[in-house]
Amino acid sequence: MLVINKPAGLPVHAGPGGGDNLENYFDALRFGLPRKPTLAHRLDRDTSGCLVLGRHPKALRKLGKLFAGGQIEKTYWAICKGAPEKPSGRISAALKKQTRGLGWQVDIVPDDTDGAQQAATTYRTIATNNGLSFVEAKPKTGRTHQIRVHLASIGAPILGDPIYGELTSDERRHPMMLHARRIIIPISKNKDPVCVEANPPEEMAVLTSQVSETT
């Protein structure tokens, strides 16, 4: 497998309209193998950080089982507007993808809603300062837009999120401040899990430092 630090703003694969995407660059990541690597999971276009690739079909199948079984631990960093009322906790709220005009978004819905997917995220607030908070989130399920929707639901929308939470137009113009900081993968039964950390993009690193400063 390979774990790369995905840049924000680049989709992992081509959408309906085509355009530049991460998969266009996988041929340069063969490193001697006949096949180019393949995505083992997904990150949103505007999310940066740890992204896992399988280098051959056997590895991809194994990684798929680990992701599906919830055996891979993912840790995200987020810079949020405001702060969660409780400094740490667990958000359990079912999600459903809904059509909105020409697009779509993910909504929190009652658990018994047709098509609802159960979703859970744990979080802790690392620091707060000047109306912002630095939050660490760990998704226990892998639903689309899960962390973004869950944090917005507790009054801490992610700065730069183009869809969710109560943000001003200026606050939405930021690059989205969500970063897949760490991933822990138990790839071998006889070895310690592989732990990989990715540094956040420069603008997020600056904001993280500012929020973490003591006043």
Domains defined for the chain, CATH in brackets: 2-212 (3.30.2350.10)
pLDDT of residue 19: 85
Percentage, residues of the chain above pLDDT 90: 90
pLDDT of residue 93: 97
Does 141 score more than 70 pLDDT?
Answer: yes
Mean pLDDT within 116-140: 96
Alpha carbon distance 137, 97 (integer Å): 21
Mean pLDDT within 45-54: 96
pLDDT of residue 102: 64
Catalytic one among 20, 44, 107, 112?
44
Alpha carbon distance 58, 70 (integer Å): 19
Does 159 score more than 60 pLDDT?
Answer: yes
Does 77 score more than 80 pLDDT?
Answer: yes
pLDDT of residue 214: 64
Neighbour count for residue 31 (Cβ, 10 Å):
9
Mean pLDDT within 152-168: 96
Does 196 score more than 60 pLDDT?
Answer: yes
Average of per-residue pLDDT values in the chain: 94
Instruction: Note if 44 is an active site residue.
Output: yes
Q: Are the C-beta atoms of residues 16 and 24 closer than 8 Å to each other? A: no
Q: Give the start-end residues of each E strand in the chain.
A: 2-6, 38-39, 48-54, 73-81, 88-92, 95-100, 103-108, 120-129, 132-139, 178-185, 194-197
48 Cβ partners below 8 Å, 6+ apart?
5, 6, 7, 8, 178, 179, 180, 198, 200, 201, 204
pLDDT of residue 155: 96
Q: Closest by alpha carbon to 193, among 75, 76, 72?
A: 72
**pLDDT category of residue 29 using cuts at 50, 70 and 90:** very high
List C-alpha distances in Å: 75 to 111, 124, 183, 200. 25, 11, 6, 12
pLDDT of residue 26: 95
Does 215 score more than 90 pLDDT?
Answer: no
pTM: 0.94
